[in-house]
Chains A and B, each alone.
Chain A
Amino acid sequence: MKKNRVAIALIAAVPLLLAGCAATAPAASTSTATTLSYGLWDANQAPAYTQCAADFHKANPKITVKVEQLGWDDYWSKITTGFVSGSNYDVFTSHLSQFPQFMLNKQILPLDSYIKADGVDLKAYQPGLAELWKGSDGKQYGLPKDFDTIALFYNKQLTDAAGLSADQLANLKWNPDNGGTYEAAIAHLTVDKNGHRGDEAGFDKNNVATYGIWMENSGGGDGQTQWSFLAATTGWKSTNGVWGNKYNYNDPKFQKTIDWWQSLVGKGYMPSFEAQTGIGWSDQLAAGKVAIASNGSWMTGAVFGAKSATFTPALAPTPTGPNGKRASMFNGLADNIWAGTKHPAEAWKWVKYLGSLACQSVVAKAGVVFPAIPAATDAAVASFKAKGIDVSPFTIQVKDKTTFLYPITDHRSDVNALITPAMEAVMSGKAKASSLSAVNTQINALFK
C-alpha cells in the first residue's frame, strides 16, 4: 500500500524535464577538482572498492570518488528514478538484467571512443566477458570487472555418511533420460524419516528428512542456478544469440531437461515447489535439510560462513552432460557511465581504473568475487584458498571453456513476467514442460 503511494508520487514527481538530463554535458576540464559518485549494491565488496577509490584519488588528486552502497532493490530504484530526476551516480555497477533497457533508452554512455583513444585492450579480460557489455548497436558500454559461474554446494558430512567421495562428486554424469550418476548420487543422498535412502527398498518418498538436491524456485527464464547448467549440455540455447529476437523454450531438448528435473519431486529426491517456498536454500543446506544445492560463486562467502558442527560446506563442479562436457552460465558485472554525468572524461578515467589490474587485484585480495582479468582471478582463487576454500569447481568452467553467456535480449523483464508463472506451474506439477511452447510463442511475439 505504501509502495503504491510511492509509485504514484514518483509518477507525479517525474516532471517533463527529460530534455534537461538527456543533454550531454560538455567535457569538463580536468584542471578543476571533481567529485564523482559511484554506486554498488554488494556490501561485501564495498571495502575493496573504497580502497580502489582511495588509490585512484592518490594517482589523480583532482578527482575524488564517493562510493555509495545500497541494498539491491533500493539500488535499482535509485538508479531508475535518478535517470529521470537528473541526479544519478556518475558511474554505477551494472547488471545484465538491467543493462539492455538502460542502453536502449540511451541512459548510459558508449565507451568506444575512450577505449580507442586510450588503447584499452578488451582481450585482457577472461574471454567472452567483454562481449556481454556490447550493446545491440555494436558499441561497448562497460569494461568487465568480475564474473560468476555455477557449481554444486554440498554438506560434506552428509556425503561422507552416504559413502560418496569428493572425487565421485566431482565426476558426476547427467543425461535427461535417467539422470545418470548425477541422479543416482542425489537419490542415494536422500534419506527418509526412517533412515532409508532414496535408492533403497522401503524408501518413503512422502516423509523425507533430507533431500538429495534443492529446487530453489523454478529458475524463471534463465534458470541460472537451477537448470541452465544441465540444459546447455544437451546443446540447447535459450535464444538465437546475443541480442537475439527469438527464444527457444519450445525446444524439446529444453523441455525434456525440465521434465527430468521436475521428476525428482515425484521421486522424493527434491522438495516440491510447495515445500521449497520459504526459507532460502543456503539456510536449508546449513540446517541439514538437503545434501546438495546448485548455485553461483557469489554465494561462496555466505555458505562457507555458515560452517557449523553439523555442516561442513564443500564444492563440486556441475555434472557433465550428453555432450560429454560440463556447462555453466557465465555472468559478469561491469561499470556503466550515466549519460547525464557532468564529468564524462573523469568518469571514464575511473571506469578505466576499475577495469585495470591495479583495482582488480585489490578486489581479488578481498576474496569475495572473481575479478575479470585472469591474473586477478588467480589472485582471488589464492585468497579463497587462504580462507580454506577450494573454488576450482567454479573456475574449472572457465579453464575448460565450458561457459555460455547470460541471455541478453530486449524485453527481458517482459519475458520473465511471462515465463516465470508458466515455469512455476510446471514445477508445481500443474502442467507438463510442453506447455511452455505456447508461452514461447507469446514471448517471441514481443519481438515483432
Chain B
Amino acid sequence: MAVTARKGSQFRAAVLFLIPASIGFVVFFAWPAVRGLFLSFTDYNLLRPPVFVGFENYIKIWSDPVFWNSLRVTLEYVVINVGVQTAAALVLAVLMQRFTRTMVVRGVIMLPYLIANVIVALVWYWLADYNLGIINAALDFFGIHKIGFFGNQNIAMVTIAMVNVWRHLGYTSLLLFAGLQAIPRDVYEAAEVDGAGEWRVFRSVTLPLLRPVLAFVLVVTVVGSFQVFDTIAVTTKGGPVDATRAINYYIYQRAFERLDFGYASALAVILMIILAGVALLQNKLLRANESDLER
C-alpha cells in the first residue's frame, strides 16, 4: 500500500515537473511543426490568408537550383565543421584526461562558447577583413598573399565553418572529456600493465569505450550544423554569389525577405525530414544506445 502511494505521488511530482517543458515543447515545437506542415501546402505571404496549392511548392523546390545549391553548401559546411571540430575536440579531451587536472585549462577551453554567436562572427569578420584585418596584415607582413576569407567564393564557407569550430570546440571537448571520465581507471591500468603505448591505448581502449558519447556528440553537432544561420546572417548574407546560402538562411530569406511563407515552410519540412533521417542513420550506425563497457 505504502509503496503504491509513494509511486502515485512520484507520478504526480513527475507530471508537475514535466508540465513547463511540455508547454514549451507544444507551443514552440509541436504546434509550429504541424502548422508549418500545413503551410507548406499553401501559397501564403503572411498578409493574406493562405491558399491551398497542394504539392506545388514541393514541385517548384525540386527544380529550384538555389535549393540544390543550398543543400550542397550546407553539406560542405557540415563536413568541415563537424569533421574538424570532432577531431580537434577529441584531441583536446584526451589531453585534458591524460595530462592535466587543472580547472583553469578546462575553463579557458570553454571560454569561446560563452560568447554570443553573433559577436563571435562579427569579431572574426573584422579580424579577417581584407584591408583592415589583423590576420591579413600578418599574412602581408610575412609576404604571403592576402586572402578574402569571407569574400572569396571558394573560401567563404570554409571560413564560416572554422569560425564556428573555434566557438564550439571547447564545449564539444568538454562533452567528450566527461565521457572519458566515465571510463574506469582500471582499464587504463590494465593496458599499461600489458605495455600498451599512448597511441595504442587511445585506439584500443579510449575510442571504443567513448563510442556512445561520441555518437551523441556527433548526432547533436551534425543536426546543429545543418541549421547554421547566425554566422551567415551577420557576415556574408549568403554571398558571394550563392557560396554561403545555406538551407536555413535560404528558408529565412524566402520567408522574411520575400514573404513567401508557403515555399519557406516546404523547405523547412524538407530540412526536417533530412535531419530526422540523418539522426536515425547515425544512431543505427554508431549504436549510440549500447556501450562496450557492459559486455
| Whole-angstrom distance between the Cβ of B138 and the nearest chain A Cβ | 16
B39 with A414: CB separation less than 8 A: no
Q: Which residues from chain A contact B49 at a C-beta distance below 8 Å?
A: 16, 18
Q: Which residues from chain A contact B121 at a C-beta distance below 8 Å?
A: none
Q: Which residues from chain B contact A12 at a C-beta distance below 8 Å?
A: 27-28, 31-32, 35-36
| Whole-angstrom distance between the Cβ of B69 and the nearest chain A Cβ | 10
Cβ-based interface call for A116 (8 A): no
B252 with A3: CB separation less than 8 A: yes
User: Chain B contact residues (Cβ within 8 angstroms of A): what range?
Assistant: 35 or more
- Interface-central residue, A7, A83, A272, A417, by most chain B CB under 10 Å: A7
Q: Which residues from chain A contact B131 at a C-beta distance below 8 Å?
A: 271, 275, 278-279, 284, 287, 289
Give the docked Cα–Cα distance between A112 and B146 (Å): 58
Cβ-based interface call for A162 (8 A): no
| Whole-angstrom distance between the Cβ of A79 and the nearest chain B Cβ | 11
Cβ-based interface call for B52 (8 A): no
| Whole-angstrom distance between the Cβ of B76 and the nearest chain A Cβ | 17
Q: Which residues from chain B contact A111 at a C-beta distance below 8 Å?
A: none
Q: Mark A1-14, 1 if CB is under 8 A from B, else 0.
A: 11111011101101
Segment of A147-155, A237-245, A366-374, A421-429 engaged in the interface with chain B: A421-429
Cβ-based interface call for B178 (8 A): no
| Whole-angstrom distance between the Cβ of B279 and the nearest chain A Cβ | 15
A276 with B32: CB separation less than 8 A: no
| Whole-angstrom distance between the Cβ of B284 and the nearest chain A Cβ | 25
Cβ-based interface call for A77 (8 A): yes
Q: Which residues from chain A contact B227 at a C-beta distance below 8 Å?
A: 1, 4
Tell me which residues from 376 to 434 in chain A have a Cβ below 8 Å from any Cβ of chain B: 413-414, 417, 420-421, 424-425, 428, 430
By beta carbon, the residue of chain B nearest A431 is: B241
A417 with B257: CB separation less than 8 A: yes
Cβ-based interface call for A303 (8 A): no
Q: Which of A11, A18, A217, A272 contacts B32 (CB 8 A)?
A: A11
Give the docked Cα–Cα distance between A410 and B49 (Å): 19
A425 with B241: CB separation less than 8 A: yes
Cβ-based interface call for B16 (8 A): no
A11-B36, A80-B256, A84-B46 are known contacts. Are A430 and B241 too (CB-CB below 8 A)? yes
By beta carbon, the residue of chain B nearest A425 is: B241
Segment of B6-14, B99-107, B203-211, B232-240 engaged in the interface with chain A: B232-240
By beta carbon, the residue of chain B nearest A13 is: B32
A4-B229, A8-B268 are known contacts. Are A277 and B241 too (CB-CB below 8 A)? no
Tell me which residues from 29 to 50 in chain B have a Cβ below 8 Å from any Cβ of chain A: 29, 31-33, 35-36, 39, 45-49
A417 with B241: CB separation less than 8 A: no
Q: Which of A11, A18, A80, A430 contacts B48 (CB 8 A)?
A: A18
Q: Which residues from chain A contact B172 at a C-beta distance below 8 Å?
A: none
| Whole-angstrom distance between the Cβ of B117 and the nearest chain A Cβ | 8
Cβ-based interface call for A331 (8 A): no
Cβ-based interface call for B148 (8 A): yes
Segment of B54-62, B86-94, B187-195, B258-266 engaged in the interface with chain A: B258-266
Cβ-based interface call for B277 (8 A): no
Q: Which residues from chain A contact B151 at a C-beta distance below 8 Å?
A: 272-278
A7 with B255: CB separation less than 8 A: yes
Q: Which of A80, A276, A414 contacts B130 (CB 8 A)?
A: A276
Give the docked Cα–Cα distance between A62 and B260 (Å): 41
Cβ-based interface call for A101 (8 A): yes
| Whole-angstrom distance between the Cβ of A33 and the nearest chain B Cβ | 31
Q: Which residues from chain B contact A283 at a C-beta distance below 8 Å?
A: 132
B130 with A274: CB separation less than 8 A: yes
A424 with B241: CB separation less than 8 A: yes
Cβ-based interface call for A234 (8 A): no
Q: Which of B47, B233, B261 contacts A83 (CB 8 A)?
A: B47
Give the docked Cα–Cα distance between A1 and B240 (Å): 21
Give the docked Cα–Cα distance between A217 and B27 (Å): 41
Cβ-based interface call for A361 (8 A): no
B148 with A414: CB separation less than 8 A: no
Main secondary structure of the interface of A (DSSP, over half): helix
| Whole-angstrom distance between the Cβ of A349 and the nearest chain B Cβ | 26
- Interface-central residue, A107, A272, A273, by most chain B CB under 10 Å: A273
Give the docked Cα–Cα distance between A124 and B265 (Å): 46
- Interface-central residue, A77, A81, A105, by most chain B CB under 10 Å: A105
A84 with B47: CB separation less than 8 A: yes
Q: Mark B244-260, 1 if CB is under 8 A from A, else 0.
A: 01001001110111110
B150 with A277: CB separation less than 8 A: yes
A1 with B32: CB separation less than 8 A: no
A421 with B242: CB separation less than 8 A: yes
Cβ-based interface call for B180 (8 A): no
B129 with A274: CB separation less than 8 A: no
Tell me which residues from 146 to 175 in chain A have a Cβ below 8 Å from any Cβ of chain B: none
A9-B32, A12-B31 are known contacts. Are A277 and B240 too (CB-CB below 8 A)? yes
Q: Which residues from chain A contact B153 at a C-beta distance below 8 Å?
A: 428, 430
Q: Which residues from chain A contact B33 at a C-beta distance below 8 Å?
A: 8
A5 with B28: CB separation less than 8 A: yes
Q: Which residues from chain A contact B148 at a C-beta distance below 8 Å?
A: 272, 274-275, 277
Give the docked Cα–Cα distance between A272 and B146 (Å): 12
6 tightest A-B CB contacts, nearest first? A277-B151, A274-B148, A278-B129, A105-B47, A12-B32, A274-B151
Q: List 27 A-B contacts (CB under 8 A).
A: A1-B248, A2-B229, A3-B230, A4-B251, A4-B252, A8-B32, A8-B35, A11-B261, A12-B36, A16-B49, A101-B45, A101-B47, A107-B47, A275-B148, A276-B130, A277-B130, A277-B148, A277-B151, A279-B126, A283-B132, A287-B131, A413-B258, A413-B259, A417-B257, A421-B241, A424-B240, A430-B241
Q: Which residues of A contact B (CB under 8 A)?
A: 1-5, 7-9, 11-12, 14, 16, 18, 77, 80-81, 83-84, 101, 105, 107, 217, 271-279, 283-284, 287, 289, 413-414, 417, 420-421, 424-425, 428, 430
